[in-house]
Structure 1
Amino acid sequence: MSVIGTGMNNVSEAAGAASNAQSVSPPVYECDRENALKGIPTEQIYVFKTIENIQEIIGKTAGWVGDLLYPYLAFLDTPPEQLWNFDAVQTPGICKQYFESLRILVIKLPSKPQEMVTGHLCHRLRRAAILMGNVDEELSGTGSTTYRATNTICRNSCKEADGGIIPHQRRPGPQGWPTIIFESGVSESLERLQQGARWWLTQNNHEVRAVLLAHILCAEQVIDLQVWRMLPIQHPRSGTPPDAQLTPQCDNQLRIDCSAVPASTIGTVPFFVIRFEDLVLRPRSENERHFFLNMLDIQSIASVFRASL
């Protein structure tokens, strides 16, 4: 089993660290090795041998994924044609990202808290749609769809989400992007989650309207929620094209302390997630509302999280 070093420093995010909603983050085009491997420790970076070898490494790592600060594996020199072979045997729950020009395959390993929190966040928004008069019938989940970048000169990267919602007005499959993406990560993976949010918001002509991140700290029993979307740069240079005046930013954040019952929060509740028009892609009627997480939603999410530990 070959393990190589990248010369990168491991990044450790302090618990509860969050991006300032007013700060400006430059668009991430994911075209260089440093960005592709950001936050992945050197001991979790391998040289591709065979698909069977990848499966073996995943199998060995899965037993102690809860102890990993960064639940990611990277495989260098992965031929693009091998990606199809991996798809055929891909373990359910695993999400991948592939950088074709770099021949780097990044695999995100699932954990029970990550899967249950992601699924329940999606469920609570879908439940809100049902309570508006079966608006949920206009929406579908993304499943394990792989999406390929379309909006930059680096159109050779692809990515799978932990979850997402796509309105029926968009065609299903890789050509129909979801309007909201759900990404969750445990322990020290916040920076990687934020990098993923930037990818989703910049690689598809603004078809993804919001990314809801859940940074899960199991030992502390804390969930930090962040909503990322494209927002105007505060002081754009004169003559900057309109599209270039938008950048991915954290627009809203909430900390949920699940260590006690009921759970407590730091931040504003109801917690705004996405406008109705941005999620469903049609004007809302009189009885339809924008999508928030209220205190009932928060307590339900906390209960599901505690049950996953």
Structure 2
Amino acid sequence: MEFTDSLQPSLSTQPSLSTAATSITSDEQVPVVKFTTIKELFQEINATSSDVLIVSDISPNDVNEIHRARDEACRGFRLSYLEPSTKRLEITIPNSPHEAAHGAIYAFITHKMITMGLASRWKVEGATRYTSTQNNNSEAESDSAGKPIPDRPRNGWPTLVIEAGYSQSLASLRSKMEWWFDASNHEVKIVLLVKANRVQQSILIERWEEGPSTAPRPGATTTRSVTSTIGPNCRQEITITKDTSSSPPQYQVNSTDLVLSFRLLFLREPGPQEGDIVVTTAELQLCAAQIWYDVV
């Protein structure tokens, strides 16, 4: 069974919960299974070495039962994305590089907030379950997320979401990024994507926001630009590469610091001693070291 590198693939029917391999990156295989029972699904989750599992032929009622069984069994996987119209569920099975890919960056972000005295003004949402009534009742659980309090109400959407991928493809991550903006009715303000590539020993970080952006005209000077359509725009792209010729390995960052808008995160202008959240290139190198620490 094969599908294109997107968040909503076309899945063929299988007679049983048998694993199929779908190539979505040059170096990883993502298993695809047809849902039959929760017991068999748990067995597939236990058996896979991937950090993502695609489940087909599944209903919202099935997903509610999986939520209940997962919580009762204290299982750590996340029901990352459900699209009822395609009967497709994406499950994240945390492994070391996947968790470091979002957790390390989020830790630096919250540390910056704490040093600004904002510990009581930011709520860590983690993998909270969000359902979109305007988007076919689709639902998702982020890798990391957070929102300002009390500016964003209880049960309100986060302003920041981080999605990580190790086996999961970049195209799939980008599709989920679009879902967060659309499903939240644009209440999500920033989505960070962190994609680790095991073969290339590289990490790509993309910072996405909505709204108009300017881009150079093809063949024009940098002083002449056009405004793109309003929608998700990649505001910053950072690549971190691992240099294995040195011991310990060194990490090269091809960009400036990662900068997150205070206004978008906290839904207000910064006050005294407050400002944009800046994760420095040195801190990004530390994040990369954590991502690859347990990868041979």
TM-score range (shorter-chain normalised) is 0.7 to 0.9
Work out the CA distance in 2 between the residues paired with 1:302 and 1:46. Answer: 32
Match of 2:67 among 87, 97, 122: 87
1:17 corresponding residue in structure 2: none
**Superposition deviation, residue 139 in structure 1:** 0.7
Name whichever of 88-97 and 246-255 sits farther off.
Answer: 88-97
Amino acid at match of 2:112: A
Match of 1:103 among 87, 92, 101: 87
Work out the CA distance in 1 between the residues paired with 2:38 and 2:95. Answer: 22
Matched residue SS, 1:216: strand
Amino acid at match of 2:126: G
2:137 corresponding residue in structure 1: 156
**Superposition deviation, residue 121 in structure 1:** 0.7
CA deviation profile, 1:229-271 (whole Å, cap 9, x unmatched): 1132779xxxxxxxx952112111011123355421112x122
Amino acid at match of 2:266: V
Work out the CA distance in 1 between the residues paired with 2:213 and 2:205. Answer: 22
Match of 1:74 among 54, 67, 75: 54
**Superposition deviation, residue 82 in structure 1:** 1.8
Contact 2:210-2:232 at 8 Å conserved across structures: yes
Matched residue SS, 1:155: coil
2:3 corresponding residue in structure 1: 8
**Superposition deviation, residue 93 in structure 1:** 3.8
2:225 corresponding residue in structure 1: none
Instruction: Return the TM-score normalized by structure 1.
Output: 0.75
1:53 corresponding residue in structure 2: 40
Work out the CA distance in 1 between the residues paired with 2:205 and 2:213. Answer: 22
Distance 1:49 1:121, change over 3 A: same
Contact 1:101-1:156 at 8 Å conserved across structures: no
Work out the CA distance in 2 between the residues paired with 1:307 and 1:74. Answer: 27
Work out the CA distance in 2 between the residues paired with 1:306 and 1:47. Answer: 32
1:239 corresponding residue in structure 2: none
**Superposition deviation, residue 144 in structure 1:** 2.5
Matched residue SS, 1:197: helix
CA deviation profile, 1:62-94 (whole Å, cap 9, x unmatched): xx22xxxxx432222213222121112322143
**Superposition deviation, residue 298 in structure 1:** 1.5
Match of 2:184 among 196, 204, 214: 204
Q: Structure 2: 5+ residue runs without aligned partners? A: 12-20, 24-29, 216-227
Match of 1:277 among 251, 259, 263: 263
Work out the CA distance in 2 between the residues paired with 1:284 and 1:103. Answer: 43
Instruction: Return the TM-score normalized by structure 2.
Output: 0.78
Work out the CA distance in 1 between the residues paired with 2:147 and 2:178. Answer: 19
Matched residue SS, 1:101: helix
CA deviation profile, 1:143-193 (whole Å, cap 9, x unmatched): 32111124x4x3321011001111112234xx3111010111015611111
Match of 1:140 among 100, 117, 123: 123
Name whichever of 279-288 and 159-168 sits farther off.
Answer: 279-288
Distance 1:34 1:252, change over 3 A: farther
Amino acid at match of 2:164: S
Higher strand proportion, which one?
Answer: 2
Contact 2:131-2:140 at 8 Å conserved across structures: yes
Q: How many residues align?
A: 259
Matched residue SS, 2:185: coil
Contact 1:202-1:248 at 8 Å conserved across structures: no
- Which structure exhibits the higher relative contact order, with contacts defined as CA atoms closer than 8 Å and separated by 6 or more residues? 1
1:168 corresponding residue in structure 2: 149
CA deviation profile, 1:267-292 (whole Å, cap 9, x unmatched): 2x1222x2111112222113211112
Contact 2:52-2:168 at 8 Å conserved across structures: no
Distance 1:79 1:187, change over 3 A: closer
Work out the CA distance in 1 between the residues paired with 2:67 and 2:271. Answer: 41
Work out the CA distance in 1 between the residues paired with 2:3 and 2:203. Answer: 28
